[in-house]
Structure 1
Amino acid sequence: MMRRRTTLLASCTALALALGATACGGGPVSAGGGGKSLSGQTITVAGVWSGSEQKNFQKVLDAFSEKSGAKTQFMSTGDNVSTVVGSKIEGGNAPDVVMVPQVGVLQQFAKEGWLKPLSKTTQQSVDSNYASVWKNYGSVDGTLYGLYFKAAHKSTVWYSPDALDQAGVKPPTSYDAMLKAGHTVSESGLAAFSVAGQDGWTLTDWFENIYLSQAGPEKYDALAAHKIKWTDPTVVDALTTLGKLFKDKQLIAGGQKEALNTDFPGSVEKVFGPKPEAGMVYEGDFVAGVAKDQFGKKIGEDANFFPFPPVGDGKAPVVSGGDAAVVLKDGKNQKAAQQFLEYLATPEASAVWAEAGGFLSPNKKLALSSYGDDVTRETAKSLVAAGDSVRFDMSDQAPAAFGGTKGAGEWKILQDFLRDPSDPKGTAAELESAAAKAYQG
């Protein structure tokens, strides 16, 4: 589940520096017709955000209120979005809009009959301004229910420029070159990678990037939908590739045992903290927020990234995640809710959060100048340029019992694989057993 990450990172997601100008492209776009047409009305928006994410989203809500005249209320759901929203619906107090952090939850809501299709205006904006992959992830049985407003780029490897300079290596452009560069970094006195094995979701992200590059998008889609089994040879191949990293004690800070005791913020600290232990850490664009907010690093100078490199003959992967806005049937103000989503579909709305920081948009019409620093601009450019080759985080598409539960399913099995990566075929069989039970359920 995407939110297990971004809720964890709520206080450390301010990726960009503040920016004064708002080049959105296409001029101002009215929300709900403009002219304070929603004066006297109130919409309730539910989402998992807290901390700085909630604060920055509030700026978007305030901008909509200023434009439309509507009042807005934000309700934080915590991690269990479906449970909280379900109870609100049963109690007759459903929110008007929910920001859904997982594809699987959006599909669940649609199949429960909880969602309204998005307005023609929003659909037209999605058709014009988004790669079709985002429409596909927001649709169920051909009907568009979800607008992806906020995205994450999860194919970024973050590094200390000082560490790579000291080792005399440049950012690598292939997976094998990355491991080779890692050995050179290790020989210079630091471990190559800090791995957050205590948080099983980071290990799923490692696997997904390798699998997408090595097996290709068609196999990725099939595995994500469990149309092929986890015992497929492509899975074994990806685990074998990942295992080469996991079993190399020269590459992982503190070895496998310490990696299993390192959480995500701790993994960033091992690279960008006061006592560096490693030169690189893999995770999404939100690494920059931790490096900047917690350790005072200047993004682009003290901390930088290179794209997750292609594996073998494959293409460089672009794995993403995101939050989709949906309108509930049982909300008390569906008209205003639909107009709010029409606003969220504009580059104007995205620019509000882009300027605040800690945000990427899949909206192609959002000018890169809206982001506050060059590194964020490069990350956003990479995400948009990937177009339909973007693939949503695979574990976020799976049933939570398999792809999103601590101490169970994929998280636990990949932690066991980090501990002992000697049997990729056996690990694949365990993954298939767990997946089969979860998808049947």
Structure 2
Amino acid sequence: MREHGTSRTTIGWAALAAAGALALSACGGGPQPGPEDPGPAGTAAPRVQLPKLDGEKLEVAAVWTGPEQANFTKVLKEFEKRTGAKVTFVPAQDPIVTFLGTKIAGGQPPDVALLPQVGALVSAVHNKWAQPVGPEAAAQLDANYSPGWKKLGAVDGTQYGVYYKAANKSLVWYNAKAFEAAGVAPPKTWKELIAAADTLSASGTPAVSVAGADGWTLTDWFENVYLSQAGPEKYDKLARHELKWTDDSVKDALTTLGQLFGRKDFLAGGTSGALATEFPKSVTQTFTGGDRPAAAMVFEGDFVAVNIAQTGEKVGEGAKVFPFPAVGAKAPVVSGGDVAVALKPSKGAQALLTFLASADAAEIQAREGGFVSPNKAVNPGAYPNPIQRDIAKALVAAGDDFRFDMSDQAPAAFGGTPGAGEWKALQDFLANPSDVAGTQAKLEADAAKAYGN
């Protein structure tokens, strides 16, 4: 499978790097707009009109679990209330293309699926599973989305998807008590990050909680280092496999990442602990234990806030955030997102796409935290705290100046499959960070096979 040419994306460097700085400064300061305060966006957008669907049954599939699934279910409940339809959430597994293929082969496709990779959308279209968006959903997209986000949901010029959820995947969340106890300030450069990690670990608190059991988090680590160090042009070429993974730029990025992964004392639980840690635990163990948590920092996107909430810690107080440190001239910002696509030609599926493209749906989940929408009609006051509000505002302000998560642009066999491709190669690298050349060779062999070149 070749990648669709419009999927060359990462949220604008300046805008979202600034968001991290805004968020950091917003941890203190004066009063902020509350969740019901319209804030600077002005008057709220009119409620979207939805058809009556009394008695219609819909299924919606996504890979979301835990609080993320629970919060999305609240959105579906509002859709049920306003249409009379009955909606069932269907938990999916990665790779979602394989999951959907099994469902479709069995004659039981969900009405709508939320796909976490651009490559998955392209596959769904090429497999003739996806339905183009109808006029009502298209009208919401035209009113509420920048052309760049619309393009991400299109294949060969036809609109198939609605980007319901976005993510800034270049944030480092830290335990403020642990930083204070060690006398460490948030780093701005990679060199400062390594120095801070050294100080934190020497103080008795491992520096970083790495979710090595979930390979997708390791791809995000690599992408941030690579984008900042190699620059956007090489990032785009590597994303399209126009540059080989044996290139020196990949060697440099892996060597840099090895400065962190190669220090067992930096990692919560050491190397073996990191390899056994799944993403939710990587967050919760960073924000429990007072000023002696399992780790002082955890890297991942704005959605980390959902897992922080489970610890009882508050974003902006005990849990703070800084932008991913600059490795090269500019700090990186990598974006991800989930695109809703109809898999059945039904009135209900199109109505749900229309709802998900509206500000109404996004504001429900925004209030729950750990969610950012690229929908520019969403009231900033819906976000529950200044940090998430600033991240969301910067996302919208970035307009079309963005790039997307590299592994999410890749064929799922390479960039989106547990235990295979990039996920597995980077897990092996975490286990043995000195084997840069071997990691490159494995990445290139798997990429060449998946891309067909």
**TM-score, normalising length: structure 2:** 0.83
Aligned ranges 1:205-224 → 2 under 5 Å: 205-224=220-239
1:121 to partner: Cα distance: 4.4
Q: Is the 8 A contact 1:230 1:432 kept in 2?
A: yes
Q: CA RMSD in A?
A: 2.6
One-letter identity of the residue aligned with 1:303 = A
Q: Number of matched residues?
A: 414
Aligned ranges 1:331-410 → 2 under 5 Å: 331=345, 333=346, 335-410=347-422
1:93 to partner: Cα distance: 4.3
Any stretches of 5+ residues in structure 1 without a counterpart? 1-18
Q: Secondary structure at the match of 1:388?
A: coil
One-letter identity of the residue aligned with 1:312 = G
State the distance in 1 between where 2:103 and 2:216 align: 29
User: CA distance change for structure 1 residues 386 and 211 in 2, over 3 Å: closer, same or farther?
Assistant: farther
| Residue 198 (structure 2) aligned to one of 158, 183, 191 | 183
State the distance in 2 between where 1:89 and 1:260 align: 34
1:202 aligns with 2:217: yes
One-letter identity of the residue aligned with 1:40 = D
1:266 aligns with 2:278: no
1:359 to partner: Cα distance: 1.9
Q: Secondary structure at the match of 2:441?
A: helix
State the distance in 2 between where 1:143 and 1:389 align: 22
| Residue 122 (structure 2) aligned to one of 107, 123, 139 | 107
Partner in structure 2 of residue 14 of structure 1? none
State the distance in 2 between where 1:197 and 1:89 align: 32
1:310 aligns with 2:326: yes
Q: Is the 8 A contact 1:46 1:75 kept in 2?
A: yes
State the distance in 1 between where 2:284 and 2:84 align: 42
Partner in structure 2 of residue 168 of structure 1? 183
State the distance in 2 between where 1:107 and 1:253 align: 38
User: CA distance change for structure 1 residues 84 and 188 in 2, over 3 Å: closer, same or farther?
Assistant: closer
State the distance in 1 between where 2:185 and 2:102 align: 52
One-letter identity of the residue aligned with 2:163 = Y
Give the share of equivalent positions with the same residue, in percent. 51
State the distance in 2 between where 1:268 and 1:222 align: 32
Higher deviation after alignment, 238-247 or 417-426? 417-426
Aligned ranges 1:30-45 → 2 under 5 Å: 30-31=47-48, 33=49, 37-40=51-54, 42=56, 44-45=58-59
Any stretches of 5+ residues in structure 2 without a counterpart? 1-33
Q: Secondary structure at the match of 2:219?
A: helix
| Residue 149 (structure 1) aligned to one of 151, 164, 174 | 164
One-letter identity of the residue aligned with 2:54 = G
One-letter identity of the residue aligned with 2:376 = K
User: CA distance change for structure 1 residues 236 and 61 in 2, over 3 Å: closer, same or farther?
Assistant: same
User: CA distance change for structure 1 residues 339 and 407 in 2, over 3 Å: closer, same or farther?
Assistant: closer
Q: Secondary structure at the match of 1:391?
A: coil
One-letter identity of the residue aligned with 2:306 = G
State the distance in 2 between where 1:78 and 1:305 align: 30
Q: Is the 8 A contact 1:196 1:262 kept in 2?
A: yes
User: CA distance change for structure 1 residues 235 and 119 in 2, over 3 Å: closer, same or farther?
Assistant: same
Partner in structure 2 of residue 59 of structure 1? 74
